[in-house]
Each structure stands twice: as structure tokens, then as C-alpha cells.
Chain A
Amino acid sequence: MRRIAALIAMLLPLAALPARAEVTLAVSCGSVGVEARLCREGAEAWARETGNRVTMVSTPASASERLALYQQLLAARSPDIDVLQIDAVWPGMLAAHLADLSDRLDQAARDAQFPAMIANNTVEGRLVGMPWFTAAGVLYYRRDLLEKYGRPVPESWADLAETARHIMAAERAAGDTRLWGFVFQARAYEGLTANALEWVNSHGGGTIVGEDGAVTIDNPRAAAAIGEAAGWIGTIAPQGVLNYAEEEARAVFQPGQAIFMRNWPYAWPLLNAPDSPVHGRVGVAVLPRGTGEGGRHSATLGGEQLAVSRYSRHPAEAAALVVYLTSREEQKRRAVEGGLNPTYRDLYEDRAVLDANPFFGPLLDTFRNAVPRPAAATGTRYNQVSAAFRNAVHNVLSRRAEPADALRLLEARLHRIGRDGQW
């Protein structure tokens, strides 16, 4: 059986003929809605072309529950799922269970992709996930309010806080007592890690753990960044933001109760739906940069990849399906129909893609230069690093610790978790 599969794997690239033997692949990608529909359509199109069959496996929408399920299945070497969609921070954690797809991505295609995505998905020289769509943190703002008060889109975090304070004070005085300045994700979950990494990195404070595995978080710039964010709570951001994930933040921004929101690109079509109160009044911009030396714009890299399970009974077909689903044509279709950010650079100049998603063009640099979380360097320990980091940040935000103290303790903790840089 295995030998036949290997034979097919060898023959497939040579002759572009559909595989003779019909196989059934279990594919686990998005959930219901646009994402699932696009994935199913793509997979079924491949099945028709090649004469194989696909079944879709639905998984929980919550990323952490999906990860737990995958880990359970993979730890048991279960062949029940062949192709799985994995999050930006999972390659390091799941690498041991995933097949190497390096030889499935030719040099030309590799060069045309965002390098950050390829780097993110390469673990010890093996490409364990094929980039499928990307995402990065962006700043949503109320265009109408900024225009009304003659304010530009904030360039730095300090500008953002100042603008927010100004507009909030004026609007509240005018009777809109429930308006807030800025909402983001500060609940103690993976989203806070993504948010806080943006603050730290935009101040030139590094990426928690460097690419070489050295712990770098205990530095004055990182402390300044987190201290600045703590100053927002209760002034321009409601106290409740400490328990907001993506949707809770949108629940404040969409009814028009906030001026700025940090979120992922998924919110764009929803904010502009016909029944949305802020329909047509929202702009998207790159996140502000930090003040001081080394300040820059940074956005945390998100997005999803497709991977092939090592325990798949049909690895060759599974890899072929992954190649098909992540191809340029398929990514274009998904961008136009579902607003999912492609990972091919040239698609950001494509007319059809830009017509559907006008903000893709101006934000190309944001997506291309997005900062990955330190998942590759920390490997299987990433979740521990992320939990320690977000708990430290959450303690500062809820005023139960000073930034410098929290980061000193965090650094010591990370050294312990990472066994002094070996990970």
C-alpha cells in the first residue's frame, strides 16, 4: 500500500494525469460560512478534475479548541484527517506530525509569496504548511469623526491616544456619553499576545524571543510600550476591554461606540454590511508606530496554512490537493469572493482583487512585513511562552503589576520554560 502511494507520488509530477485509483480525502478547513463554502468548492473542483473524492470535517471555530482536537488526533497517529488547516502559530507545535511540502513548491512560486509566510511555515528546513491566506492586525477608524474634527489618521500611538481623548471629550460633551476612544483585544488569550506584540515591536522592543532563541523581552522599550497601553485602560478604552476578544471589540465598534479599533481584516466586510450602523464610515489604516528611537509600524502576522498529516493514508493525493487549494488562481478566487488575503504578492495588484477589497493595495506593506509571533523559535513550547507573556501583560493592564517588574519576572520565567535558550 505504502509502496503504491510512493510510486504515485513519484509519477504524479511527471505525468500530469489524474491518479487512477480513486481515493477519499478527509479535509478539515474553515467552518460554515464563506470560508467553508470556498474551501469546499475548491476541494470539490479538485476532486472532479482528478477523479478522487473529498469529505469535509468540521472543527470548532475557536482556534484553541481546534488545536486541542488536532493534537489529540495526531498524537494518536490517527489517519482520520488527511489535510488540515493550521494557524500561523501552530507549525512549530505540530511540525513532528506534518509532512514536508518543500518539493511541492517550485522556486518561482516560492519567490512570489510573502517571505514572512514561508519563513513562518518552515521548521528545521521542512515546509510543513503551505501558505493559504494571510492576515495582520490593522487599525479601523471612524472616517466621519476624524473628518468632523479635522484630525489625520494617527501616525503614532501617542497621536492615537490624543486624538481619541479629544474626540471623546467633545462627543461626550455633545451628548454621546457612551463613546469610547479605542477598543482592542486584551482578554488573556492568544489575541492579547498578538496585540501586545504589536505594541512592543512598534516601539522597537523586539519579539519576546529572538529568532536565535534568546529571550529579549526584558528591555526598557517593551516596558514603555506596555506601560503606555496600560494608560489607555479606563481613559480611552473601557475597563471591559480586559475581557474582549475580536467579537467583543467589534460589538462596541460596529454600533458606533468607539473611534478606533484594532482587529483583523475579517471585520471589514461585516462593518460595511448594509445593516451596519457604521456602514461606509469606516477607514482602515496601518497600526500606529511607537514613539522614540526604533519606533516603527508593526502588525502581528496571522493567517492560515494547509498541511498534510504524516499519518494520512494518501499523502501524495493530499499534497496534490493542498497545492491545488493554495494555487494562485484559487487564492484569487477566495480573495474576490471571500475577502481572504492572498499570500501571492502580485495578487495585490490584481484589478479584480482590488475592486473587491480596496484596502488591500495601500496595506500591502503591512501584510508583507507582518511580524510573526515567536512560534518558530520556541517550537512546542510556544503556547507556554505565549501564556506567560499575555498573563504578564494582563497583570500590567489591570494595574496589578508595574511594567518593568512584570517583564523582569517574565524573562526569568521564559528562561525556565526555554531551558536557557535551547527550547
Chain B
Amino acid sequence: MVTRGPVGLSAVAQDRRRAAFWFLLPMVVAVLLVAGWPLFRTAWFSLTDARLDEAAPGAFVGVENYALLLRDPEWWNAVRNTLVFAIVSVTIETVLGMIIALALNEKMRGRGALRAAMLIPWAIPTVVSAQMWGWMLHDQAGVVNAALLGLGLIDQPIAWTADPDLALWAVVAVDVWKTTPFMALLILAALQLLPGEIYEAAEIDGLGPVGRFFRITLPLIRPALMVAIIFRALDALRVFDLMYVLSGNSAATASMSVYARQQLVEFQDLGFGSAAAMGLFAIVAICTVLLVTLGRVRLGGAEDAR
């Protein structure tokens, strides 16, 4: 990354750059302290055959674990499940979150109540809400089937979480329920930062509400929207609790995190499990790079900031 600008930087800019170092330092130290060792350790163990239940430290085995991982059909199945889940759920959450944020941004009656109501799903601990949905989706005793039967929409109870094909969609529905508030709130914050007079100008130009949204709002909130999408995608790609509670450890519906956890915790296979975690990391990194590129998120260049 090359810093742009004239050679003789203004005193302000130079001052700022020196100050930047000190402003960054505490955060960098904190990140290194918290994450440095655990991440280094995972990377190292992925190259050994260490096991948690054996006292002996693992021997270095090179990329053997990775070779095994790439040949395991269950891993690729987990990758596929996770990608489908992440793409579908993040897309729905973005659209739905946008709608809610736009609605909350309007001056309308009941806005406060809606805002508080919207946050409830996000506020219930996942350990609980996943189990709660598990019971609500129970085929015989669950309230979802009872309601649908009562309304006459179905004539046989549906086994939501038992059928591997249906289970993924059940998980998506619960995830959308749980994390749409996250998207909505972040988008709302971005909308709040938009200066009002832009819209006044648009009104004069005769743009309709739809035109206004696509021509003005969306481009302006895009950076914030992309950050929200990136963090949501990071979370979705690492989905664990929901899958684990709703559909168990079944290999058919496992996500990458479920797979990695099974190797690491259940099988105590520190070496191979770490390799799976690194594999997950690599796939998440690729997805992030794609998102950053396609979403034209600028990592550098403060000069471009308005």
C-alpha cells in the first residue's frame, strides 16, 4: 500500500500520522495479547499429530492433516452445508434488516415499540433460543405444527428438524429470526448518519421513494452495509450452536464448526481438529476477500473519505 499525497506533507497530516501510532497501540497490544497465542498455537498444532488425551506432545507431521482433511467427504459436505446456509441466511437477513431499518428510520407510530420488539430475538441467549426453537419445531408436541394444523395449512405434522433436507431450512429460519436485528440496527445507525438535506435535494429532482433508495440511500450507506454483511457472514460461516442444538451432530447437516468441534473436542484429535479449524479459516478468508472485492470496501486511503 502506497501512501498518496504530495512529498511535502502538511504539518497537520504528519502530526496526525505520528498520533495515529499512539492511538492504535492499545488496540494492537490487546489483540496480540488475547488472540496471538491461541491462533499461533492452532496453526502449529495443525501440523502435528497431537492429541488432547495423550500427555506426549505431538510429533511434526507436515501437511498430512490437511491432506486427510481434503480427502474427507464429510468435510466437503460440511463446507457445502455451511456455504448454502451462510449465503441464504445472510441474503435474507440483509434484505429483511434493510426493510426494518428503513421502517424504523421513518417517523411513524409505534416505532419505539417495534424497535424494542425487534431486538428481543437477539437478546435471548443462543443456548436457550436454539433449544426453544427445537421444542417449537418438535413434530408431535411443537407449537409450530400445532398452529399450522390449526390453521389448516398442513394436514400432517411436519418433521422439521428430522429430515436432513428440511433441517437446513429450519436452521436458516431460526438464524434469520435471531440475527436480523443485528443487521437492522447497524443499517439503522448508518441511516442515522445520513444528512437530511440530501433527500430534500432529491425531492426537488423529482425522484420517487424507490429511486431515492437506490440512487441515494444505498450508495451512501454501502460502506456501513458491507461491514455489517461481512461480520454477519463471518458469524454465519462459523455457525455452531444452532446446528448443534437443532439437528445434532448428524454428519448430513453438520456445519464446518460442528465438524471442527467434533474432531477437536469429541475426538480429542488436536492435530486434525486444528487443521479443520485452519481449513475453516481459509474458507472464511476467501469469502471475506470476495465480499471486500465485490463490495468495493476500501481498506486504505483515508483521502478518499469525504
**Is chain B in direct contact with chain A in the complex (CB below 8 A)?**
yes
Question: CB-CB < 8 A to B53: which residues of A?
Answer: 71, 75, 93-94, 96, 380
Answer yes or no: A64 CB below 8 A from chain B CBs.
Answer: yes
Question: CB-CB < 8 A to B252: which residues of A?
Answer: 188, 391, 394-395, 398, 400
Do the beta carbons of B159 and A188 come within 8 Å of each other? no
Given the known inter-chain contacts A188-B250, A387-B262, please indicate yes or no for A239 contacting B140, CB distance below 8 A: no
Q: Whole-angstrom distance between the alpha carbons of A241 and B159 in the complex?
A: 8
From A188, A242, A248, B249 is in contact (CB under 8 Å) with: A188
Task: Name which of A113-121, A251-259, A332-340 contacts chain B.
Answer: A251-259
Question: CB-CB < 8 A to B265: which residues of A?
Answer: 68, 71
Answer yes or no: B266 CB below 8 A from chain A CBs.
Answer: yes
The minimal Cβ–Cβ distance linking A309 to chain B, given in whole angstroms, is 14
Which residues of chain A in 375-399 are interfacial with respect to chain B, using CB atoms and an 8 Å cutoff? 380-381, 383-384, 387, 391, 394-395, 398
Interface size class of B (residues with CB under 8 A): 20 to 34
Do the beta carbons of A75 and B52 come within 8 Å of each other? yes
From B51, B164, B167, B262, A380 is in contact (CB under 8 Å) with: B51
The minimal Cβ–Cβ distance linking B105 to chain A, given in whole angstroms, is 41
Question: CB-CB < 8 A to B249: which residues of A?
Answer: 188-189, 387
Do the beta carbons of A394 and B250 come within 8 Å of each other? yes
The minimal Cβ–Cβ distance linking B143 to chain A, given in whole angstroms, is 12
Answer yes or no: B223 CB below 8 A from chain A CBs.
Answer: no
Question: CB-CB < 8 A to A240: which residues of B?
Answer: 138-140, 157, 159, 161-162
Do the beta carbons of B140 and A238 come within 8 Å of each other? yes
Question: CB-CB < 8 A to A394: which residues of B?
Answer: 250-252
Q: Whole-angstrom distance between the alpha carbons of A248 and B139 in the complex?
A: 9
- Which residue of chain B is the closest to A240 with respect to CB atoms? B139
Question: CB-CB < 8 A to A245: which residues of B?
Answer: 248
Given the known inter-chain contacts A188-B249, A257-B140, A387-B249, please indicate yes or no for A242 contacting B266, CB distance below 8 A: no
Q: Whole-angstrom distance between the alpha carbons of A189 and B246 in the complex?
A: 12
Q: Which of B51, B140, B265 has the most CB of A within 10 A?
A: B140
Q: Whole-angstrom distance between the alpha carbons of A248 and B246 in the complex?
A: 12
Question: CB-CB < 8 A to A243: which residues of B?
Answer: 159, 161-162, 167, 247-248
Question: CB-CB < 8 A to A255: which residues of B?
Answer: 141
Do the beta carbons of B267 and A384 come within 8 Å of each other? yes
Do the beta carbons of B159 and A239 come within 8 Å of each other? yes
Which residues of chain B in 51-107 are interfacial with respect to chain A, using CB atoms and an 8 Å cutoff? 51-55
Answer yes or no: B203 CB below 8 A from chain A CBs.
Answer: no
Answer yes or no: A172 CB below 8 A from chain B CBs.
Answer: no
The minimal Cβ–Cβ distance linking A186 to chain B, given in whole angstroms, is 8
Answer yes or no: A373 CB below 8 A from chain B CBs.
Answer: no
Q: Which of B55, B139, B167, B247 has the most CB of A within 10 A?
A: B139
Answer yes or no: A281 CB below 8 A from chain B CBs.
Answer: no
Which residues of chain B in 128-152 are interfacial with respect to chain A, using CB atoms and an 8 Å cutoff? 138-141
The minimal Cβ–Cβ distance linking B169 to chain A, given in whole angstroms, is 14
Answer yes or no: B163 CB below 8 A from chain A CBs.
Answer: yes
Which residues of chain B in 243-296 are interfacial with respect to chain A, using CB atoms and an 8 Å cutoff? 247-252, 262, 265-268
Do the beta carbons of A239 and B139 come within 8 Å of each other? yes
Answer yes or no: A166 CB below 8 A from chain B CBs.
Answer: no
Question: CB-CB < 8 A to A180: which residues of B?
Answer: 140
Q: Whole-angstrom distance between the alpha carbons of A178 and B145 in the complex?
A: 12
Question: CB-CB < 8 A to B262: which residues of A?
Answer: 387
From B52, B138, B163, A251 is in contact (CB under 8 Å) with: B138
Q: Whole-angstrom distance between the alpha carbons of A71 and B161 in the complex?
A: 30
- Which residue of chain A is the closest to B149 with respect to CB atoms? A178
- Which residue of chain A is the closest to B263 with respect to CB atoms? A384
The minimal Cβ–Cβ distance linking B280 to chain A, given in whole angstroms, is 18
Question: CB-CB < 8 A to B164: which residues of A?
Answer: 398, 400
Answer yes or no: A297 CB below 8 A from chain B CBs.
Answer: no
From B157, B161, B247, B250, A391 is in contact (CB under 8 Å) with: B250
Given the known inter-chain contacts A93-B53, A96-B55, please indicate yes or no for A238 contacting B139, CB distance below 8 A: yes
Question: CB-CB < 8 A to A96: which residues of B?
Answer: 53-55
From A67, A75, A238, A384, B159 is in contact (CB under 8 Å) with: A238
Answer yes or no: A40 CB below 8 A from chain B CBs.
Answer: no
- Which residue of chain B is the closest to A64 with respect to CB atoms? B266
Question: CB-CB < 8 A to B248: which residues of A?
Answer: 187-189, 243, 245
Do the beta carbons of B51 and A251 come within 8 Å of each other? no
Given the known inter-chain contacts A383-B266, A383-B267, please indicate yes or no for A241 contacting B250, CB distance below 8 A: no
Besides A71-B265, A178-B157, A387-B266, 8 new A-B residue pairs in contact (Cβ under 8 A), listed by A number: A68-B265, A71-B53, A96-B54, A245-B248, A251-B141, A252-B141, A257-B140, A398-B164
Please give the residue numbers on chain A whose beta carbons come within 8 Å of chain B beta carbons, in ascending order: 64, 67-68, 71, 75, 93-94, 96, 178, 180, 187-189, 238-245, 248, 251-252, 255, 257, 380-381, 383-384, 387, 391, 394-395, 398, 400
22 examples of A-B residue contacts, CB within 8 angstroms: A67-B266, A71-B265, A178-B140, A187-B250, A188-B249, A238-B159, A239-B159, A242-B159, A243-B167, A248-B141, A251-B138, A251-B140, A252-B141, A255-B141, A257-B140, A383-B268, A384-B267, A387-B267, A394-B250, A398-B162, A398-B164, A400-B252
Please give the residue numbers on chain B whose beta carbons come within 8 Å of chain A beta carbons, in ascending order: 51-55, 138-141, 157, 159, 161-164, 167, 247-252, 262, 265-268
Closest 10 CB pairs of A and B: A240-B139, A188-B250, A242-B162, A240-B159, A239-B159, A243-B162, A251-B141, A243-B161, A391-B251, A68-B265
